[in-house]
Amino acid sequence: MGKEGTNMANAKKKKHSFPSAYTVIIIVLIMVQALTFFIPSGKYSTLEYNSGLDKFVITEASGKTIKKSATQKTLDNYKIKIDVSKFKDGTIYRPAAIPNTYREIKKPKRGLFGTINQFLTSQVQGIVDSVDIIVFVLILGGVIGVVNQTGAMNSGMMRLSEVLKGKQKWLIVIVTALIGLGGTTFGMAEETIAFYPILIPIFLLAGYDTLTVVAAVYLGTAIGSMSSTINPFSTVIASNAAGINFTDGMPMRVLMWVASIGISIIYTIHYAEKVRKDPSKSFVADQAESDKEKFLGDLDLNSKGDFTMRQKLSLIVFALGFVVMIYGVQQLGWYFTEIAVVFLAVTYVLIFTAGLKESKFVDSFVSGAGDLLGVALTVGLARSVGIVMEKSFVSDTIMNYFSNQIKGMNSVLFICVLFFVYIILGFFIQSSSGLAVLSMPIMAPLADVVGIDRSMIINAYNWGQGLIGLIAPTGLILVSLAMVNVGFDKWLKFVMKLLVMIVLLILVFLSVGVLI
């Protein structure tokens, strides 16, 4: 009878379990695909600089192209208030939407077969389009597999855990603040995937849970990018597309970064310390043992084993890979192809420092890459939602609808509503630079109509499209959760109160910004 009751309880638990990351993305993909049947297709005419011809190429909604002189006069004629130099030096590298040119177009014919084909093809195309990130994730997994096999990670974690005794809170402060600094300055985002395998054991040994890891790292990158100050992929390109200098409104953005990162750190520490003092308070308490087994393995917490020279060298080589990665991204404009090359080079150096036999080395690399295969596939699947939007030509329709709705509002109502508009747009258009170039030529002139500074439009854009990244399944959050083995429902349970706090903080900043 007791056994039967246990089986029934387990069955009930399985019945109500939250869908995996893959399923969540597929559900969102189906919902977005369904919406494309009801949202009219439409396009703005766009203007793009062709460096080979030294001409502007205007693409109309019909698909017809016109070449015009690459001069400031041409931009003025099309009411695009951007300095021509920004196109010629590559700052504006995407097609810019031309104001007041939106036109509905004939919706692409699909039918049942076409819809199924788009559903399947978008997923394959998403993986293909994300291949540079996927390769980076797999190589990173391989490197981690090798380092783990040497025992260097375990030995290093044990030494670090001794240093952290009684200072666990600083772990959260330092990680969130540093990653938040990377987010606000150069848009650190997907690069943070590399930090999870290192930080998970450290946080577990400090008495925290896996949810605390993703909170510290992901809140750092999401809130940091949201409160961007000099991020070239959001603030700089959006300011240029709005026809203003990116330093306009900088003091308010710095204050927002300090306030929002500060709130995030306090919020995370409050949760983490409750968990450390009473593990049953953890939102992932039901998987605590399996998490320790997976991420700590056979680590003997009472062991005082030797930390050999080979292990130290392997960890130094591994750490240098991250130093080179951060420098390359920040100073040299590297993307994932270059980052993957760095960690592939680390792999070859480890051949000499790890001291493993050839077969053991290769097996460790392949096994480590296999551990992150699920994460790599999640990256590709998340991209499929954007592909469906692009192929269905509904992004411009959504943009046109909202730009028309907010005209004529008073300044405070306008800027607050615009913030929520950018939350919606940010859900569908995950590329910050793409959203900036698409929306700013249309939204920025509305600031002149209601009598506010255009820098406030940049703030509404930054804070809206950045904030939705905390919970949008189409963004980086599901990939991050997959790294730490945490369900999306657990994350929502954790982050919703913080989300409300940040929304209220932003509304206060926006309201004060337009009134002073």
**Tens digit of each residue's pLDDT (9 = 90 or more) over 261-280:** 999 999 999 999 999 999 99
Q: What is the pLDDT of residue 307?
A: 65
Is the model's pLDDT at 255 over the cut of 90?
yes
**Per-residue pLDDT at 155:** 64
Q: Are residue 164 and residue 290 in the same domain, yes or no?
A: yes
Q: How confident is the model at residue 10 (pLDDT cuts 50, 70, 90)?
A: very low
Would 55 be classed as within a structural domain? yes
**What average pLDDT does the segment 153-172 reach?**
71
Q: Round to whole Å and give the CA distance between 4 and 220.
A: 46
Give the model's confidence band at 106: pLDDT under 50 very low, under 70 low, under 90 confident, else very high: confident
- pLDDT at residue number 12: 44
342 plus 458 within the same structural domain: yes
Secondary structure (3-state) at 357:
coil
Give the end-to-end CA distance of the chain in Å, rounded to a whole number: 71
Structure confidence at residue 495 (pLDDT): 96
Are 491 and 253 spatial neighbours (Cβ–Cβ below 8 Å)?
no
Which pLDDT score is estimated for 7?
47
Q: Are residues 431 and 487 in the same domain?
A: yes
Average pLDDT over residues 138-162: 74
- Report the pLDDT averaged over residues 312-317: 82
Query: What is the per-residue burial (b if ≥16 Cβ within 10 Å, else e) of 2-19?
Result: eeeeeeeeeeeeeeeeee
Mean pLDDT of 494-500: 96
Helix 358-371 / helix 373-392 crossing angle, nearest 10 deg: 40
Residue 2 in any domain: the answer is no
Judged against a pLDDT cut of 60, whether residue 208 lies above it is answered with yes
The reply to whether 172 and 80 lie within a common domain is: no
Both 181 and 312 in one domain: the answer is: yes
Burial class, 122, CB count within 10 angstroms (exposed 0-12 / middle 13-18 / buried 19+): buried
- Whether 210 and 484 have beta carbons less than 8 Å apart is answered as yes
Structural domain contains residue 145? yes
* C-alpha triplet 292, 297, 300: angle, nearest 5°: 95
| Domain-embedded: residue 203 | yes
b (16+ CB within 10 A) / e for 61-81 = beeeeeeeebeeebbeebebb
- Averaged pLDDT, 394-416: 90
- 116 class by beta-carbon count within 10 Å (0-12 exposed, 13-18 middle, 19+ buried): exposed
Write down the pLDDT at residue 161.
61
Q: In this predicted structure, what is the pLDDT of residue 16? A: 57
CA distance 342 to 353: 17
- Of 51, 48, 135, nearest in space to 92 by CA: 48
Structural domain of residue 62, as residue ranges? Answer: 45-97
Mean model confidence pLDDT for the chain: 86
Report the C-alpha gap between 289 and 277 in whole angstroms: 17
Q: Give residue 8's pLDDT.
A: 43
Query: What are the residues facing 232 on neighbouring strands?
Result: none
Q: Are 145 and 63 in contact (CB under 8 A)?
A: no
Evaluate whether residue 3 is within a structural domain.
no
Structure tokens at 306: 């030797």
C-alpha dist (Å) from residue 351 to 317, 319, 365: 11, 16, 11
Is 9 within the bounds of a domain? no
| Residue 62 in domain | yes
**Length of the chain in residues, anyone?**
516
pTM: 0.82
pLDDT value at residue 210: 94
CB atoms inside a 10 Å sphere around CB 346: 25
User: Are residue 87 and residue 139 in the same domain, yes or no?
Assistant: no
| Burial classification of residue 162, based on how many CB atoms lie within 10 Å of its CB (0-12 exposed, 13-18 middle, 19 or more buried) | exposed
pLDDT band at 503 (very low <50, low <70, confident <90, very high): very high
Lowest mean pLDDT among 191-205, 294-308, 423-437, 491-505: 294-308
Together in a domain, 342 and 447: yes
Q: How confident is the model at residue 511 (pLDDT cuts 50, 70, 90)?
A: very high
H or E segment and range at residue 66: strand 65-69
pLDDT class of 17 with cuts at 50, 70, 90: low
5 within some domain: no
pLDDT (0 to 100) of residue 9:
44
How much is the pLDDT for 4? Answer: 46
Do 26 and 52 share a domain, yes or no? no
- Give the best-scoring range by mean pLDDT among 25-39, 290-304, 330-344, 494-508: 494-508
Q: What is the pLDDT of residue 13?
A: 44
CB neighbour burial string for 443-469, b if at least 16 within 10 angstroms, e if fewer: bbbbbeebebebbbbbbbbbbbbbbbb
Fill in the amino acid letter for 93: Y
* Helices of type H across 151-195: 152-164, 168-186
Q: Are residues 277 and 337 in the same domain?
A: yes
- 318 lies in the same domain as 338: yes
For residue 283, what pLDDT band results from cuts at 50, 70 and 90? very high
Q: Are 292 and 204 in contact (CB under 8 A)?
A: yes
Q: Tell me: pLDDT of 297 over 80.
A: no
Report whether 403 contacts 100 (CB < 8 A): no
What is the phi/psi pair of residue 101, to 5°? -120, 10
Cβ neighbours, 10 Å, residue 38:
7
Domain boundary among 72, 97, 122: 97
% of residues, the chain, pLDDT over 70: 92
**Cβ atoms within 10 Å of 298's Cβ, excluding its own:** 7
Nearest to 308 by CA among 151, 117, 488: 151
For residue 259, pLDDT beyond 50: yes
| pLDDT the model gives residue 124 | 92
What mean pLDDT comes out for the span 340-350? 90
Highest mean pLDDT among 346-360, 428-442, 454-468: 454-468
Q: Which of 79, 97, 115 is the last residue of a domain?
A: 97
In this structure, are 77 and 198 located in the same domain? no
What number is the average pLDDT over the span 183-195? 82
Instruction: Report the candidate in 444, 368, 434 with the shortest Cα–Cα distance to residue 403.
Output: 444
- Highest mean predicted confidence (pLDDT) among 144-153, 303-312, 413-422: 413-422
Given a cut of 70, is residue 380 above it in pLDDT? yes
Query: Coil, strand or helix: which one is 51?
Result: coil
pLDDT for 71 beyond 70: yes
Give the count of domains, the chain: 2
Do 365 and 418 fall within a single domain? yes
Looking at per-residue confidence, does 189 or 261 come out higher?
Answer: 261
Does the structure show a pLDDT above 90 at 298?
no
Return d(Cα 85, Cα 90) in angstroms, integer. 8
pLDDT at 448: 86
Residues 6+ apart with CB under 8 A from 415: 452, 456, 457, 460, 510, 511, 513, 514
Among the residues of 227-308, which ranges form H helices? 237-242, 250-277, 288-296
